[in-house]
Amino acid sequence: MKKMLGVTTALLFSLPVFAQSISGTVITLAGNAEIKADNDQAIVTFFIEEQDKDKAAAASRVNQKMKSGTELIKKEDPQALLSTRGYYTYPVYNDDVKVAAQPAKRQLIGWRSGQYLEVKTQNLKQLPTTTAAAQSLLALNGINFGLSDGAVAKLESERVAAGYKDFIEKLTMITHAMGKKPDDVVIESLDFDNAGTTVRPLAMAAPMLSRARVEASPVEVPSFEPGVSTLSIHIAGKLRLK
C-alpha cells in the first residue's frame, strides 16, 4: 500500500515538469468543412454532324443546322451564354480492300463534318423546354449542373467560417488534452485552401449518327434534376505553445 502511494505521489509531482517540457512545442493542425448548396446553373453541349460525298455539302448542312439551332436556343433563353466548342471536317474511307500480292488500298467515300455548341444558363426552369426545342435540330451531347460564380461568391464567407470553426474546435480539444488553454497557443501561420467546386468540362465524345438524312420528329420535353454541389475547405495551421 505504501509503495502505491509513493508511485502516485511521484506521478503527481511529475505533471508540472511535463507541462513545462511541452512549452515551445510546434503543433500542426488542420480544419476541414463542407457546405452544400442547390445548383443554380447548367452547362449543356449540343452538336450536329453530317456526312456526304461532297465535302462542301456536308459542311453546308452543318452550318445551316447549327445556325438555325443557335437562333432557336437564343429565342427560348435570351440570357443564355453560347460558345462554339469545336468544328471538324475529316475524310471517310471504306474498309481496306486486300488483293493477293498487292498492298491494301483505301478508297475515299465521303466527308464528315460536325460542330459543338456549349450553352451556359441559370434559367433552369426554362431549361427542359429549351433543350427539347434545340433537339429538333441538334443532338444533346451532355449536361452538367453546378453553381454559378455569383452563387459561389455568396457562399464564400459561410465556407470559410465553417472551416475556421472546425479548426478552432480541434485546437480547443487538443490544448485541453495537453493541459493547456487556447490562450496558451500562438498561431504562427494559417493556410486557407480555396479549393471548392468547379464545373468539369464536358468530354466531346465522337457521336454516332445515322448516315441517312431523316426528318426530325418533335422531341418530348425532358425532365432534369439539378441536384446539389458541395463546397469544401481545408485550413492548415502552424501553432506554437507558449
pLDDT in tens, 115-167: 999 999 999 999 999 999 999 999 999 999 999 999 999 999 999 999 999 99
Sign of CA dihedral 173, 179, 182, 188: negative
- Give me the amino acid identity at 144: N
The pLDDT assigned to 68 comes to 96
Is 196 a residue whose pLDDT tops 70? Answer: no
Residue 70 CB contacts under 8 Å (≥ 6 apart), including other chains: 82, 117
Lowest mean pLDDT among 34-43, 56-65, 96-105: 96-105
Count how many Cα atoms sit within 13 Å of the Cα of residue 214 in the half-sphere of its side chain: 8
3-state secondary structure 17-79: HHHHHCCCCEEEEEEEEEEEEECCEEEEEEEEEEEECCHHHHHHHHHHHHHHHHHHHHHHCCC
pLDDT-wise least confident of 30-39, 104-113, 135-144: 104-113
Sequence-separated (6 or more) residues with CB below 8 Å from residue 117: 45, 46, 47, 66, 69, 70, 73, 82, 83, 84, 85, 138
User: To the nearest whole number, what is the mean pLDDT of the chain?
Assistant: 82
Q: What pLDDT is recorded for position 98?
A: 60
Q: Is 219's pLDDT higher than 90?
A: no
What domains are defined for the chain?
25-40+147-203+227-242 (3.30.110.170), 42-145 (3.30.70.2970)
